Amino acid sequence: MAKMLGTDKPAGMEKPVQYQVTFLPDKIQLAVPAGMSVLAAAAEAGVELEGPCGGKGTCGKCRVKLVEQDGEEWVRACQTPVNRDLVVEIPQAEVSVQRKSDLSRRAVLVDLASGVEKVKLKVASPSLEHQVADADRFLEALGRENVKLSLEALRALPGALRQADGLVSAVLCEDEVLAVEAGDTTERLYGLAVDIGTTTVVAALVDLGQGETLATASASNTQNIFGADVIARIEHATQKTKGLEQLQHRVLQVIRKLVTRLAAETGVKEEEIYQITAVGNTTMSHLFLAVDPANLAPSPFIPGFSRLVRLKAKELGLNTAPQAQVYVLPNIAGYVGADTVGVILATELDRKEGVNLAVDIGTNGEIVLAAHGKIWSCSTAAGPAFEGAQIEFGMRAATGAIEKVKITEDGLLQLQVIGDSEPKGICGSGLLDLVAELVRSGVIEESGRMLGAGEGDALAPALRARLSTTGSGNSFVLAEASAGRKEAVVLTQKDVRELQLAKAAMRAGIEILLSTAGLGYQDLDQVLLAGAFGNYVDKYSALAMGLLPPVPAAKIQSVGNAAGAGAQLALISRSLREHSIEVARQVVHVELSSRSDFQEKFVDALSLQQEI
């Protein structure tokens, strides 16, 4: 019997089962293969959702609400497979990162010459007797040799000439005309400085003519859906299909949103941004440019590039300002990047007299020591504890975050909460305060062990009442459950260990740099705390628990988002941008993983108590 064509499906050609996922409140819908996790579906949809542990199910930060006909259920997105059509409600993120964008400040005298200029020209009109091409007449009016027009400028030229009767403004960068605009727009010359942090992206809109910062804005680095630290990002970039493309797309998307926000706030047109500088750690620089970061992870931690990179925004896909020149400042080593170069530029560490230490307390823990004309640097694997990840109730500096803690002599707990609201969790500065206070009060031993329920007879009754012991270990209750919060906010024994490890890594790095330079902490003239966390941390808490060497508190100074400030300096000053190349070359990188004394210093630094 003859077989009818097309009635049998070839083996293995069955269409894979797909389900529709709807993400609220933005009502984003997409179809995904059965079995994909809700976290992965959110990443595919471009939904902002944290995943600090990289989808391993250990952090609990990716909790979402499944909205079903018969009720609602909170689940971990990374551990929940899509096995039916789902409606997923994403918790509304608080404004958590504005403080960092407010920290860029500049007190460095600079040569105000960005390398981009805008000149007014009056171009002669053509005629039957003078049939000369627009471009030729334009270049003649410009009067400069060996100058070329970009394609964008060439396309804009005919219309601009006729719109304002030959009066145009030309935007030049070195030997190239980037743009041509009708009329006299020479006062409208702008640039963008971007600090691409592992956790937060900060952008500053700058008037290149005046060197004035017009506005700053910041947002979460939405790459965090793939993990909180650089190792998780590298793994995603190298092990997942289109992983590198996804990571670059996410950071570019954040920058585009920041540009749109800044333009709306200031009245600057996006196309009037003609120059961009970017800093970030070495991994962030690679992901920004979509350069394979695979060799950063294994020893010997080799970057794909370290020199200053120049390209056009359109090559990156930053089409909000396609003609803009983009400069990515040089990296120093595999885990000490352009952000550290920015810190050095902003603080003038390479020019300061005496012995100066700069510490960027964060996930990557960069440390710089400058002494007598030499500079050393290292990076410590501090982990994301300072940023709130891997802490049970850790969160960023958002509304509801406990940011400062004091314990009175009679054991009463005094909490300062961002937004003066009910506590939802604790951010890095609050965590450091809390542990320092609990050590001082006797709730946590110098070794890091936390007392449990029924212990601490010598404690004030108010403190003893906050001690708890469950199957998962000892904890300290910061805020009881309430109508607005279903569970108590607690500090767990595991949280203390996470902070203890991060603190020990940072302190060990400081000790090794001092040892390498043949110096001791007594030789330090100044300790600079960089970054948002460094700006808000209580220096007395940092000293009490041994995060910093026991120097007089008067020597410790917060310098804000110095990396972002350095990016702004490199934006407005071509000479400083070129100086960044020399700075990166000058720094001697100390690789901690190759130091035989690192483990010893790390163990010594685990103690949570220091005499000051």
Directed axis angle between helix 230-239 and helix 282-289, to 10°?
30
What order of strands is seen across the sheet that includes strand 116-122?
116-122, 167-173, 176-182, 148-149
pLDDT at 255: 97
pLDDT at 51: 75
- pLDDT tens digits for 150-208? 999 999 999 999 999 999 999 999 899 999 999 999 999 999 999 999 988 999 999 99
Residue 24 has pLDDT above 90, yes or no: no
**pTM attached to this predicted model:** 0.86
In which band, very low, low, confident or very high, does the pLDDT at 383 lie, cut at 50, 70 and 90?
low
**Once rounded to an integer, what is the mean pLDDT over residues 458-471?**
94
- Average pLDDT of the chain? 90
Q: How confident is the model at residue 228 (pLDDT cuts 50, 70, 90)?
A: confident
- How far apart CA 74 and CA 56 sit, in angstroms, is 17
Instruction: Note the pLDDT tens digit of each residue in 114-128.
Output: 999 999 999 999 989
Q: What is the enclosing helix (H) or strand (E) of 565?
A: helix 562-572
The reported pLDDT for the residue numbered 93 is: 58
Closest CA to 503 of 447, 556, 446, 546: 546
pLDDT tier for residue 56 given thresholds of 50, 70 and 90: confident
Q: Which band of pLDDT confidence, cut at 50, 70 and 90, is reported for residue 11?
A: low
pLDDT bucket at 135, cuts 50 / 70 / 90: very high
pLDDT digits (tens, 9 = 90+) for 281-309: 999 999 999 999 999 999 999 999 999 99
The pLDDT value recorded for residue 83 is 87
Task: Sort strands 556-560 and 526-530 into parallel, antiparallel or unpaired.
Answer: parallel
Residue with tokens 């070359």: 585
Distance CA 459, CA 492 (A): 18
Q: Is 341 helix (H, G, I), strand (E, B) or coil?
A: helix
- Helix or strand holding residue 118 (H, E): strand 116-122
Q: Is the pLDDT of residue 67 over 70?
A: yes
Q: What is the pLDDT of residues 509-551, one digit of tens each?
A: 999 999 999 999 999 999 999 987 777 889 999 999 999 999 9
Phi then psi dihedrals of residue 594, to 5 deg? -95, 0
Model pLDDT, residue 554: 96
> From its phi and psi, is residue 286 left (phi > 0), alpha (psi between -120 and 50) or beta?
alpha
Contacts of 587 (CB under 8 A, 6+ apart): 332, 336, 340, 344, 368, 375, 376, 377
Task: Kindly state the percentage of the chain with pLDDT values over 70.
Answer: 94
| pLDDT at residue 100 is higher than 80 | no
For residue 4, give both structure tokens.
């009818």
Q: Could you give all domains of the chain from N- to C-terminal order, each with its CATH number?
A: 18-91 (3.10.20.30), 116-182 (3.10.20.880), 188-328 (3.30.420.480), 349-384+499-604 (3.30.420.40), 395-483 (no CATH)
pLDDT, mean of residues 426-434 = 94
pLDDT at res. 409: 94
313-339 mean pLDDT: 94
The amino acid present at 40, given as its one-letter code, is A
Report the percentage of the chain scoring pLDDT > 90: 70
